[in-house]
Amino acid sequence: MSQAETKTRTTGQQETNMSLDNISHPSIQHCADSLNAKHSNGRPEPELVPSRYALQVGDIDVLVVSDGVLPIPAPVMAYNVDPALREAWLDDMFLPPDVLEWPLNVVVVRSGDRTILVDAGLGMDPDLHLPRAGRLVSRLEAAGIDLASVTDVVLTHMHMDHIGGLLIDGVKDRLRPDLRIHVAAAELKFWESPDFSRVSMPTGFPDALRRAAKR
């Protein structure tokens, strides 16, 4: 019997109100292609683990709700890295070399008469073929949280897996008309004219993000 190697492991936002009409959902089709063969029927997999975790911070009730799992090809996560170095690092971290399972979570905060949603998840776009992601709305309902009870949504940033839950067909009609959406002023300013000249991203990412900002 071979001996396994043992390794040790250690591991001022401004408020701005905005309309749902100003948020868009860029495509992540290239991240979904790897699942098409496994999930050709398009049906969600059965729940295998708890989808929410509750805790209390003083008088504030906090609920962490899983939006599901997003499979991301490893080359997308480390786009400008030598493949051999990337594979060696992933192996060293006990991670798969091809597709990474990216957990998506949203936080629900209940304080006084406010029910606050911190981020909104990926959303469920049937064209993306992601049966294990975009489950926030159904899991909120399973936790007894009505969308109409949400008073505020805080967007930590405007990436697709944080705003997509607001863009699902029919969701906007279920939200209360006086819903307040909060996002940092600096974040809004960046997306008015996004500059990706100093970053390296997969083909299609910058254009998709720019289209989202314009919409």
Nearest to 68 by CA among 111, 32, 37, 40: 32
DSSP SS3 for 92: helix
Task: Give me the domain span that covers residue 210.
Answer: 20-214
Q: Which residue has the higher pLDDT, 33 or 166?
A: 166
DSSP 3: P
pLDDT in tens, 190-204: 988 888 888 888 877
What is the reported pLDDT for 128?
64
Statement: residue 181 has pLDDT above 90: yes
Statement: residue 161 has pLDDT above 60: yes
- Answer yes or no: is 128 within a domain: yes
Q: Residue 14 is which amino acid? A: Q
Q: Residue 135 is which amino acid? A: R
Total structural domains in the chain? 1
What is the reported pLDDT for 148?
94
What is the reported pLDDT for 107?
96
Q: Is 31 exposed, middle or buried (0-12, 13-18, 19+ CB in 10 A)?
A: buried
pLDDT in tens, 116-130: 999 998 877 666 667
Q: Which two tokens stand for residue 25?
A: 């959902």
Residue 166 pLDDT grade (very low, low, confident, very high; cuts 50, 70, 90): confident
Statement: residue 180 has pLDDT above 60: yes
Output the domain CATH number for residue 204.
3.60.15.10
Nearest to 147 by CA among 127, 124, 177, 122: 177
End-to-end CA distance of the chain: 60
What is the reported pLDDT for 45?
55
- Answer yes or no: is 111 within a domain: yes
Within 8 A by CB and 6+ apart from 142, the residues are 51, 52
What is the reported pLDDT for 122?
85
- Answer yes or no: is 173 within a domain: yes
What is the reported pLDDT for 24?
43
| Whether pTM exceeds 0.85 | no
- Answer yes or no: is 133 within a domain: yes
Cα 2 from chain centroid? Answer: 41
Average pLDDT, the chain: 77
pLDDT in tens, 49-77: 568 889 999 999 999 999 988 888 888 88
What is the reported pLDDT for 109?
97
Place of tokens 């250690």: 10
Query: Contact, 65 vs 165, CB < 8 A?
Result: no
Place of tokens 């307040």: 180
Q: Residue 101 is which amino acid? A: E
Q: Which residue has the higher pLDDT, 212 or 74?
A: 74
